Amino acid sequence: MFHDPTRIIRLDRRKFLAAASGLIAAGVLPKSVLALAGPHSFKQGVFDITVVSDGTFALPVAVVSPDAKPEELRVLLGLAVDAQTNPVELSPVVVKSGEDVILFDTGTGTNMDATSGHIAESLKAAGMEPASVTKVIYTHAHPDHLWGTLGKDGGPVFPNASYHMAENEWNFWIKPELASMVPKDLEGMVRATQGQLLAIKDMVSMFKTGAEVVPGINVIDTNGHTPGHVSFEFAGGDGLILTGDVVTVPKIFFAHPDWKFGFDADGAAAAKSRRMLLDMAATGKKLMLGYHWPYPGLGRAEAKDGAFVYTAA
């Protein structure tokens, strides 16, 4: 059985705040780090895993799911009747495996909300530097998972890392004609994403679904949110699934796995992937780690009445 991660946390919120306060006083960290969730570390098989915070962003309620009325979504999310946004976390994951320090997704960078783009501060609070990262692995190439790859100077934030992306995802985003194929208001996003990818193209390795991206970490095909979206299963105990964005908002999509998320490229395919992954987790009693879930993003799924119940771990 997988050990209860709450019993093996190495750095809890109180210790993080105390340590961060000292580092701020010494001029090592900016005051903004106190607004971030503290690093959360646990063991999964042979892997040392640390969830870090890139901050948060405000997800418009109307985007959560076009399959429900906004007032229904507000009730399900526990929001005020006039709330227009639902705050969600941005939680990249650092995995230590042997000599490798592997970062799954890079956050938003500095081109989105001021509340996001703080991965470097979070890494420092966890005792790590961007230069220590040896591999960056992406679940997909949406801005909140990719745009933290490059710094303000246009250079890589993780200068000593190799980069790894699903072949289908890379091929979709890198198409020269893609910007002309999307709605006008998405052209800028596509071009910015392509700029990030082209900057690292000589350092990128492709992987296929079903493969081991590193020993003990298998790639799961969860396409639909984007054409090449993937999740990852970690060996050890009953298993751990890093979900990416296949299940974005647990309060909504556990109970309604067939509803479309507003940013899903293919709603039907995303729903199929979502149901498959939740069923896999529930049947195998696997721990799940969600990028946008309530921090630190650990939870479990239980099958019930044709859908699923979410329990935070």
Arithmetic mean of pLDDT, 94-119: 94
Q: How many other C-beta atoms are found inside a 10 Å radius of the C-beta of residue 48?
A: 15
- Look at residue 163 and tell me whether its pLDDT is greater than 80: yes
Confidence of residue 27 (pLDDT cuts 50, 70, 90): low
Q: Locate the domains of the chain by residue range.
A: 5-312
Arithmetic mean of pLDDT, 203-220: 97
- What residues pair up with 166 in beta bridges, in sequence order? 207
Contacts (Cβ under 8 Å, ≥6 apart) of 279: 303, 308
The CA distances from residue 5 to 92, 113, 239, 243, in Å, are: 17, 31, 13, 17
- Look at residue 10 and tell me whether its pLDDT is greater than 90: no
The predicted-structure confidence for 178-207, as pLDDT tens digits, reads as follows 999 999 999 999 999 999 999 999 999 999
Measured distance CA(195)–CA(190) in Å, rounded: 9
Measured distance CA(255)–CA(268) in Å, rounded: 16
Superfamily holding 5-312: Ribonuclease Z/Hydroxyacylglutathione hydrolase-like (3.60.15.10)
